[in-house]
Structure 1
Amino acid sequence: MAELRFTKGHGTGNDFVLVADPHGELDLKPSDVARLCDRRFGIGADGLLRAVPTSAEPLAPQGTAAAWFMDYRNADGSTAEMCGNGIRVFTAFLIEEGLVELPAGERLPIATRGGVMTVQRSGTGYVVDLGRWTLGPDDVAVRIAGVDVVRPGLSIDVPNPHVVVALADDEELTGADLSGAPVLDPAPPTGANVELVRPEDPLVDDDGVARIRMRVHERGSGETLSCGTGAVAAALATRHWAGRGAPDEWRVTVPGGVLGVRMFPAEDGEHVALSGPAELVYTGVVDV
């Protein structure tokens, strides 16, 4: 049995176990990840982030400027394309471990299964450019425990797959039971995170920023206090429903805090950025 040094961190309550693998030698099986993330018998987390040099990870995209690859695993040990809260915490971890430097105004590229993302410091922590997003079908039927009728969902990839559902009122948002996964029809082949959204009243405040509230069920993790790419998908979906004239600046309130979302033009199309805090809580050693 080997010892594993780890750090526990979170972004708006979305929490992670972080481990450094500077030589690409750490072989964590799905069962290992599930045990480490178990809240009763392990450290407890929504997922695990392994920091490995891009050059030492065969699955990482090669030929990029990103020196580090973020290997993200869900709490059940399965893999995901990206993690919006996780990549901010991952950046804070790399800095704390002395693996990178990120001066104010500089950009740090990080490789993920969903592509290379760039991270900068911000007033609330970090902001990450998630790149282009993709609008999918709007005819997904979503059955949610605790919600009386089936609701239509809108599919959005950023790059994780999401299905966003607008609810009628605050009672539906708080009363929805996300202890189990909502049932999607048709079911996405690789599953999807499901976001339940309730726009604030008014949607757009005097400062021109739109505001929504959100809860989320993440594939492989269950209901979490926050989901970064889910907040982005929720803002994109609500802007889509609001139509022409809807703002590009959003504040998304999740059970664990508040995240910022901004849509902006780029050479290859519209990009979307996510901003929010990243906290490192403690460091320890565990047997694996």
Structure 2
Amino acid sequence: MTPPISRDPDRLRTALDQLSGLAYTKGHGTGNDFVLVFDRDGETELSPDHVEALCDRHLGVGADGLIRVVGSQHLIEGRDLLSEHPGATWFMDYRNADGSVAEMCGNGVRVFVHYLVTRGLVELAQGETLDIGTRAGLRGVTRLEDAYSIDMGPWSYLDPELAEERASDSLVLAAGLADPRPALSLSLGNPHTVVALSEDADLRELDLTKAPNVDPVPPNGTNVEFVVPADPLFHEGLGRVRMRVHERGVGETQSCGSGACAAATAVRLWAGDPDALQWSVGVPGGTVGVEFVPQPDGSERVLLSGPAELVFDGTVL
């Protein structure tokens, strides 16, 4: 989706002028695109206006979010992680396209690590794992043959009491739906609200240029995923779903990695099949894989796999 042009273009032009000479890289993971700014020593100040201007698709570079590639020791959150995980020397400072700070981004993590590998900032052979810092905590990223797999950590309910009793905890109404639909809110390090639809036509007809109405709204806002299960849901042991997503602070995106994990989690819960551990999630920008790994304490860790690409380098003039 192309967001509407800013209501205050002069403000964004001023912000871009302040960034003159800033080097950046454009990258994406299954169409979820990012501006990456290398700032090893934490010396680049990026205000919300700066981020919004760079991510603006009319006046700036254009992206769903901005990733500042920074040494962990230069951020409070990074230093806290380093005290327990000294190997997590790089921190993904992630901002939404509107300039707001976000916990993390599943597709962004893959692009972040691909940037580190491509630029020779880390050595990561196939099968090896790199720990990085995010505001959602430590994330381990494993290099695959043509992709990366991220340990997203355990999933959880945003409202455990309601969700466990009813398998839904809110109602969502979006343009293109006649009535509000029940939804389930989950955390994958950031908040998600998942809505099940029965037909591909319902998914196509959604108008996500407008933010869906979620009732009640989670305290920190939420990303909203609209999901259609495949028919049959399982094929050769693989669960299959398709989804579209409206991301808080951004709008509709071509993909959302943590959202894909939330979508697979919700459909798996609704299907009542705890043994369905492998999932394929189709998004407008491609396909990502989701795997559930049961833990001895009864929780489940979620692995997200998919490609990452760097598209071009540039400099703000």
Which bin holds the TM-score, normalised by the shorter protein?
A: over 0.9
CA separation of 1:124 and 1:252: change in aligned 2, threshold 3 A: farther
Work out which of the residue numbers 114, 119, 142 in structure 1 matches 2:136. 114
Cα deviation code 1:77-102 (max 9, x no counterpart) = 00111100000000011112221111
Alignment of 1:141-152 (within 5 A): 141-152=171-182
Aligned 8 A contact 2:132 2:139 in 1? yes
Letter in 2 for 1:156: L
Written as runs of structure 1 = structure 2, the 5 A alignment for 1:204-219 is: 204-205=234-235, 207-219=236-248
Counterpart-to-counterpart distance in 2, 1:234 and 1:117? 20
Aligned length in residues? 286
Q: 1:93 aligns with which of 87, 112, 115?
A: 115
CA deviation map 1:32-83 (0-9, x unaligned):
0000000000000000000111111123233122010000000000011110
Distance 1:265 1:237 in 2: 16
> Equivalences for 1:172-251 in 2 at 5 Å?
172-205=202-235, 207-244=236-273, 247-251=276-280
The DSSP-based 3-state class of the residue aligned with 1:50 is strand
SS of residue matched to 1:80: coil
Q: Which of these residues, 70, 75, 78, is aligned with residue 52 of structure 1?
A: 70
Query: How many angstroms does 1:246 deviate by?
Result: 5.0
Q: CA RMSD in A?
A: 1.2
Question: Separation in 2 of the partners of 1:245 and 1:182?
Answer: 30
Q: Which has the higher strand share?
A: 1
Matching residue within 37, 59, 62 for 2:82? 62
Q: C-alpha distance in 2, partners of 1:29/1:89?
A: 22
Gaps of 5+ in 2: 1-17
From 25, 35, 48, the equivalent of 1:7 is: 25
**Contact kept in structure 2, 1:145 and 1:176, CA below 8 Å:** yes
Secondary structure (helix, strand or coil) at the match of 1:117 reads: strand
SS across alignment from 2:264: helix
Structure 1 gap segments, 5+ residues each: none
Q: Does 1:40 align with 2:20?
A: no
What is the SS of the residue equivalent to 1:55? Answer: helix
1:271 partner amino acid: R
In 2, are the aligned partners of 1:32 and 1:77 still within 8 Å (CA)?
yes
C-alpha contact (below 8 Å) 1:124/1:275 kept by paired residues? no
TM-score with structure 2 setting the length: 0.88
| Percent of paired sites with the same residue | 54
